[in-house]
Amino acid sequence: MTPTRIEFHVLVALVEGPRHGYGVMQDVDELTAGELRLGPGTLYSAIKRLQRAGLIEECEADAERRRCYRLTRKGKTAATDEARRLAVLLREARKRGLLPSAS
Partner 1 sequence: MTADRVYAALLRLYPAEFRREYSGPMLEAFRELHRKANDRPARFWALVLQDLVRSALRERLEVWSSRQDGFALEWALACTAGAVITGALGSALTWLFAYFYHPYLEGAAFQAGLYGALVGIGLGGAQAVVLRRRVRLGTAWVLASAASAAAGFETATTLAGTASPLTFGLILGGFVGMGQWLILRRRMLRAAWWIAASAVALPIGVLSCGLAMHGALRGMNPLADDLLAAASPDGPARLNGYLVDAVDLLLRGLNRPGSLQELTVGLAVMAVCGMVVGLVTAKPLSSMLSRPR
User: Of 18, 20, 57, 74, which lies in the binding site for partner 1, with binding defined by CB under 8 A?
Assistant: 20
Please state, in angstroms and as integers, the Cα–Cα distance from residue 54 to each residue in 46, 57, 69, 72, following that order.
12, 7, 12, 7
The distance of Cα 5 from the centroid of its chain, to the nearest Å, equals 8
Q: By CB under 8 A, tell whether 91 contacts partner 1.
A: no
In angstroms, the CA 82 to CA 64 distance is: 33
Which CB sits closer to partner 1, 66 or 95? 66
Which CB sits closer to partner 1, 35 or 103? 35
> Which part of the chain contacts partner 1 (CB under 8 A), choosing from 14-22, 72-80, 81-89, 91-99?
14-22
